[in-house]
Structure 1
Amino acid sequence: MRILFWNTNRNKINQYIADLVRDYNIDVLIMAEYEDERDELESLLQSYNKPLVEYNTLGCNRISFWSNYADVEPGIQDTYYSIQIIRRKCIVCCTHLFTDLHGDRSEERLAIIQQIMQEIKKLEVEINSKKTIIIGDLNEMPYGRGCLNANGFHGLPALKMEDSATRSVNNIEYRKFYNPMWNLLGDFSYPPGTYYLNQAKLNSPMWYMLDQVIISQEIIPYFRKESLKIITTCGSADLMDKSMHPNKEISDHFPIMCEIDEEVNTI
């Protein structure tokens, strides 16, 4: 199962989207801020023999979810997230949280993340599966409070199957999740983030890892680490400008992709 997430920045970029689906053989396409012609995208995908179907996200206008899986059920649809269930085994929580560009909203974002985790916990009990993927524009860094806090996503930079499933803070047990996006931070490989912004303030990394995938410990055996990437090119063109930043005429974010072994949906 190959998953692509892209914040498309409300631009008319169906050709780029279709090319990415074709080039990377995508099974699940998740977009934030998608406002192009859906019929046109569907036709382009058909012409590439990649007939993805758009699924119900009614109640979450910030997310668009497309897939070639026939067995997809909607979970909770909220303003900031859409939960989809694939084959009654795999929970995919698609998120687009609010930004701090106009002031610190970390407390409000953490509150939404806590709500998401509560909904995921209930749904995991309902379908008797803890195979959960959280993916989207989280609008904070992997070390932000919402992403890293034990009472947030608890997305750790390192986690193995043999590790304990929880850790205790003030006598409360918090379940661990794994955030592989930590491995893509910095300039050992390009690009060092999914979003670029050079602000006139003292504390600014300029490159931001806003778009992330966080997985439950139960997904780790099926997660192909080598597949995780920030995409900068597709069949139509480069997605970056002359400065090697995201080309805002296409989108101000780079897309991300990952792959989960098919067995996750059958075991």
Structure 2
Amino acid sequence: MGVCSTKNIGNEKRRCDELLNILFWNLKRNAIEDYIIDCIVENNVDIAVFSEFNGINFINIEKNLGKMYGRILAAQDDRKVTLIAKNTFSVTILQQQNRYSIYNVKTAVKDYLLAAVHLEDRRNYKSAERIDTIKRLVADIEQTEELLKCNNTIVIGDLNANPYDEELLSKYAFNAVLFKTIIDKSELTNPNSSKRKRFYNPILHYISEDTEMYGSFYHEKDYMTSYWHCLDQVLVRKSLVNSVNC
């Protein structure tokens, strides 16, 4: 399993391995169908997840990809995220909420649960509001894992939180650890009392000057200090810890 995340053109582009190649892209409402098509073809993307996709002509994208891909739609209108996938995979939407969608992805090798996410932005929402959404998402993931007896779970998207923020680290939110040794030792937080399954967040391993994966920088309006952010992330359950290649 490989996961791939692209935030903007030329920024945070990550190539992945051959088993399941996933692209995430926050399009910022830019109608850049040609760039999307080129990115999918050049990187042999299996599943492409998009947020802030208003104004994108997905029919044109599918047409230019030679009908190799199809958009996965639910009964209700798309909200914050949408997905297109290779027609060689069986992809069904299990649940769709305003800020996330959960999909069942069946390949010839393995079944996955894929949660595509776009959490509340940092300018207009507080951390507590993102955590509230995360709690609902994690509860839905756990219920789906139990129902389908599948723990090959991937969370990908614009989390609008940094790797060390409460949204990622708190056992009452994503409960994500940054080192394989921790989740290898125990998949559960407080295994003897309040048992909460962990996610693994591989981001620190891949942030590097060598690979030009820096995160994002910006200057606060009232300050001269530059702030570093890494808001697009991938989380996986223990069963996929050694399969991630960003």
State if a TM-score over 0.5 links the two structures: yes
Aligned to 1:29: 48
The answer on 1:130 being equivalent to 2:151 is: yes
**Structure 1: how far apart are the matches of 2:170 and 2:192?**
13
Any gaps of 5 or more consecutive residues in structure 2?
1-19
1:170 to 1:163, Cα distance in 2 relative to 1, 3 A: closer
Aligned to 1:52: 69
Deviation at 1:169, TM superposition (A): 8.7
Instruction: Give me the identity figure in percent.
Output: 24
**Matched letter for residue 212 of structure 1:** Q
Higher RCO, 1 or 2 (CA under 8 Å, sep at least 6)? 1
**Structure 1: how far apart are the matches of 2:134 and 2:225?**
24
SS in 1 for 2:94: strand
Aligned to 1:105: 126
SS in 1 for 2:185: coil
Aligned to 1:219: 240
Name which of 114, 119, 143 aligns with 2:135.
114
1:120 to 1:98, Cα distance in 2 relative to 1, 3 A: same
SS in 1 for 2:195: strand
Contact 1:146 1:153 in 2 (8 A): yes
**Structure 2: how far apart are the matches of 1:29 and 1:221?**
22
Provide TM-score, normalisation by structure 1.
0.76
**Matched letter for residue 19 of structure 1:** D
Contact 1:30 1:94 in 2 (8 A): yes
**Matched letter for residue 70 of structure 2:** V
**Structure 2: how far apart are the matches of 1:129 and 1:143?**
28
**Structure 1: how far apart are the matches of 2:126 and 2:24?**
23
1:124 to 1:170, Cα distance in 2 relative to 1, 3 A: closer
Any gaps of 5 or more consecutive residues in structure 1?
229-267
Provide TM-score, normalisation by structure 2.
0.82
The answer on 1:78 being equivalent to 2:97 is: yes
The answer on 1:183 being equivalent to 2:205 is: yes
The answer on 1:12 being equivalent to 2:34 is: no
Aligned residues: 220
| RMSD (Å), alpha carbons | 2.3
The answer on 1:62 being equivalent to 2:80 is: yes
